[in-house]
């Protein structure tokens, strides 16, 4: 096996080992020796790649951000209407968080330790992402009060609502992973769509139609 390939594998193993250890014990209680042993690498190999635990923690953060960007890029490329694309985004995101210890650990890092993955940062990232798609959506992506399809007249409200739902589910799933189940997410989206339709039929503004105060 080429030396460079082995070095990449060793670095990835150490990042994964650090993430698993952080999830079990928290960052402060996780030792470098323990992390290297879990990765089945020597302490020397660990310090070859990372000069300190802070350096390794940032590597976990960067790896988690890289995975997150992959899910976000898939959303950006999606040809689906906004609400469907966000539902698919949520399903893919929670599936990735469920299966990827590095992403899960990254999301639990303290903002002051590894900025960029805290709830506030995610809200800003996803709001901008959803708003961009909402602003460029094609006509016929939302039902109006008369039942006719039309462009979203309040894209910022819609982006805020969808961001709140995704961030809320992410938070709830940290305590009870059933919130991340695909059927639960799709069912919630169907419920929200049904409520929006009934509100429109009753003459009550749906969230995306409520005028700014």
Residue 139 scores a pLDDT above 70 = no
CA-wise closest residue to 56 among 118, 89, 12, 112: 12
CB 160 within 8 A of CB 127: yes
What percentage of residues in the chain have a pLDDT greater than 70? Answer: 81
Residue 143 scores a pLDDT above 70 = no
CA-wise closest residue to 165 among 122, 110, 198, 107: 122
Residue 1 gets which letter from DSSP? -
State the burial class of residue 62 (Cβ atoms within 10 Å of its Cβ: 0-12, 13-18, 19+): middle
pLDDT, mean of residues 184-203: 66
Residue 58 scores a pLDDT above 50 = yes
């Amino acid at each position: 096996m080429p030396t460079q390939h082995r070095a990449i594998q060793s670095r990835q193993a150490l990042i994964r080992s650090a993430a698993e250890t952080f999830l079990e014990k928290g960052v402060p209680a996780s030792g470098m020796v323990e992390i290297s042993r879990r990765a089945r690498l020597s302490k020397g190999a660990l310090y070859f790649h990372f000069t300190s635990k802070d350096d390794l923690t940032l590597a976990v953060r960067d790896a988690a951000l890289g995975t997150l960007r992959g899910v976000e890029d898939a959303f950006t490329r999606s040809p689906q209407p906004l609400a469907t694309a966000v539902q698919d985004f949520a399903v893919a995101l929670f599936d990735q968080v469920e299966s990827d210890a590095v992403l899960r650990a990254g999301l639990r890092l303290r903002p002051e330790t590894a900025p960029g993955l805290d709830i506030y940062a995610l809200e800003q990232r996803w709001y901008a992402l959803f708003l961009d798609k909402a602003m460029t959506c094609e006509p016929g992506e939302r039902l109006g009060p008369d039942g006719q399809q039309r462009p979203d007249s309040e894209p910022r409200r819609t982006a805020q609502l969808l961001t709140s739902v995704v961030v809320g589910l992410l938070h709830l799933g940290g305590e009870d992973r059933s919130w991340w189940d695909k059927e639960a997410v799709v069912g919630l989206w169907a419920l929200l769509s049904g409520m929006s339709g009934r509100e429109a039929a009753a003459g009550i503004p749906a969230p995306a139609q409520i005028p700014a105060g």
